[in-house]
Amino acid sequence: MDFKRVVIKVGSALVAPDGKGCSGKYLLSIARFISHCQSQNKEVILVSSGSVAAGRKLIAHGSPNPSIASKQAMAAVGQMQMMANWQRFFDFPCSQLLITHGDLKDRRRYINIKNTLRILIENQVLPVVNENDTVATEELKVGDNDNLAALVAMVSDADCLLILSDVNGVYDQDPNKAADAKLFTEIDKIDDALYAMAGGTNNKIATGGMKTKIQAAEKACEHGITTFIVNGSRSEVFEALLRGENPGTKFIAQQSPLKAKKYWLKHTLKSHGSVVIDEGAINAVVNKGASLLATGIIEIYGDFVKGESVNITAHCGTRVLAKGICQYSSQDLEKIQGKNSNEIEQILGYCQSKEIIHRDDLVLLNE
């Protein structure tokens, strides 16, 4: 287990294997693995499917293929049962985050999710994330929690994505139809040929399939996140993972997550303004790897909103030191520049974050 922060995605087939409600049949082994990771100071975020399956028997629908509205009602009642089912396995607190792809694509909501996950992890609370199926329509129909898990891994700066399903990994052909099907233990390139091997799902309570898992792996690996697809119904899989072995299919990340994020910050994000900082802040940010606080800001240039990238400059803006994602808009930042972090709430009426630019969202331009 050479990862520091892992996102674990658990499919509906493991949460509610008979499609009639939550079960602990497979979750106990998963929970033990999560607890062991926590005890080894590994940070875990859980993305759990299963709310629709958990609530299926409680909503009358009269059809093997319920309508979207019926599925949303199932999700509404099933989400509570799913969360209660997870919490009973842990002696530390769990938290619930219901999000959609739209939340992660929106700049302001993205940074709110990022901050929430960061604080939960810092307080040893297990985040349990699921698609907000009660309001999502298109997402619910395609059931993209695999891709959602990849997006959560990206927003949380994870270095590993572990996709648990009821299959062993990626095969060269359907193992249910071909006895000589070969399991790929390691994949370093995701191409059209690999997608051609992937089918949908035959599980009526699940909404994804191998194709969505490969899509998730492709997203994650492009951002430096090593990805595994393993069989979460087998307890020996988790014993192998704890021994540092690969019990399924491993997708090789293209680069380290740190390098991937720094490249994204430095070369992809467009800066919408700049902040000039004093000598004390320069020393803290450049030499000590610290976050940028309001007290070190001297001047602000440009018109930007919360979540946009800004340049961090010195000496009246003549030298750009770094870039980062700002937690406050330029208008709010003008009110709190030079102030102590403890004064932010009194001045603005709220405190989004004591850090103006968190060190995780900052890259030095000479790196």
Q: What local confidence, expressed as pLDDT, does residue 317 receive?
A: 57
Cβ atoms of 300 and 336 closer than 8 Å = no
Spatial neighbors of 205 by CB under 8 A, at least 6 apart, are: 12, 13, 16, 19, 52, 53, 56
Going by C-alpha positions, the residue among 220, 186, 189 that lies closest to residue 5 is 220
> Which domain covers residue 225, as residue numbers?
5-255
The span from the CA of 15 to the CA of 21, in Å, is: 8
The span from the CA of 196 to the CA of 170, in Å, is: 12
Within this chain, do residues 109 and 224 fall inside the same structural domain, yes or no? yes
Q: What local confidence, expressed as pLDDT, does residue 291 receive?
A: 97
Q: For the domain that residue 353 is a member of, what is the CATH number?
A: 2.30.130.10
CB neighbour class for 177 (10 Å; exposed up to 12, middle 13-18, buried from 19): exposed
The span from the CA of 26 to the CA of 29, in Å, is: 6
Q: What local confidence, expressed as pLDDT, does residue 287 receive?
A: 94
- The length of the chain in residues reads 367
Q: What local confidence, expressed as pLDDT, does residue 207 receive?
A: 44
Domain boundary among the residues 228, 255, 282 is at 255
Q: Which amino acid is at 155?
A: V
Q: What local confidence, expressed as pLDDT, does residue 139 receive?
A: 42
Within this chain, do residues 277 and 220 fall inside the same structural domain, yes or no? no
Q: What local confidence, expressed as pLDDT, does residue 119 receive?
A: 95
Q: Answer whether residue 220 is part of any domain.
A: yes
Going by C-alpha positions, the residue among 336, 270, 335, 280 that lies closest to residue 307 is 270
The span from the CA of 208 to the CA of 200, in Å, is: 7
Q: Answer whether residue 261 is part of any domain.
A: no
Backbone angles phi, psi at 197, to 5 degrees: -75, -20
Within this chain, do residues 55 and 110 fall inside the same structural domain, yes or no? yes
Domain count for the chain, please give it: 2
Q: What local confidence, expressed as pLDDT, does residue 367 receive?
A: 65
Name the stretches of the chain with pLDDT < 70.
Answer: 1, 62, 133, 135-143, 199-208, 316-318, 367
Q: For the domain that residue 195 is a member of, what is the CATH number?
A: 3.40.1160.10
H-helix or E-strand containing 304? none
Q: What local confidence, expressed as pLDDT, does residue 74 receive?
A: 87
Within this chain, do residues 91 and 237 fall inside the same structural domain, yes or no? yes
Q: Answer whether residue 76 is part of any domain.
A: yes
Within this chain, do residues 59 and 150 fall inside the same structural domain, yes or no? yes
Domain boundary among the residues 255, 279, 302 is at 255
114 Cα distance to chain centroid: 9
Within this chain, do residues 289 and 220 fall inside the same structural domain, yes or no? no
Other CB atoms within 10 Å distance of the CB of residue 141: 11
Q: Answer whether residue 224 is part of any domain.
A: yes
Q: What local confidence, expressed as pLDDT, does residue 316 receive?
A: 63
Backbone angles phi, psi at 126, to 5 degrees: -85, 115
Q: Positive or negative CA dihedral for 362, 118, 240, 252?
A: negative
Going by C-alpha positions, the residue among 133, 130, 20 that lies closest to residue 86 is 130
Going by C-alpha positions, the residue among 53, 46, 49 that lies closest to residue 22 is 53
Within this chain, do residues 287 and 326 fall inside the same structural domain, yes or no? yes
The span from the CA of 113 to the CA of 15, in Å, is: 24
Q: What local confidence, expressed as pLDDT, does residue 271 receive?
A: 92
Cβ atoms of 163 and 149 closer than 8 Å = yes
In the three-class reduction of DSSP (H, G, I as helix; E, B as strand; rest coil), residue 72 is classed as: helix
Within this chain, do residues 181 and 67 fall inside the same structural domain, yes or no? yes
Half-sphere exposure of 31 (CA within 13 A, CB side): 19
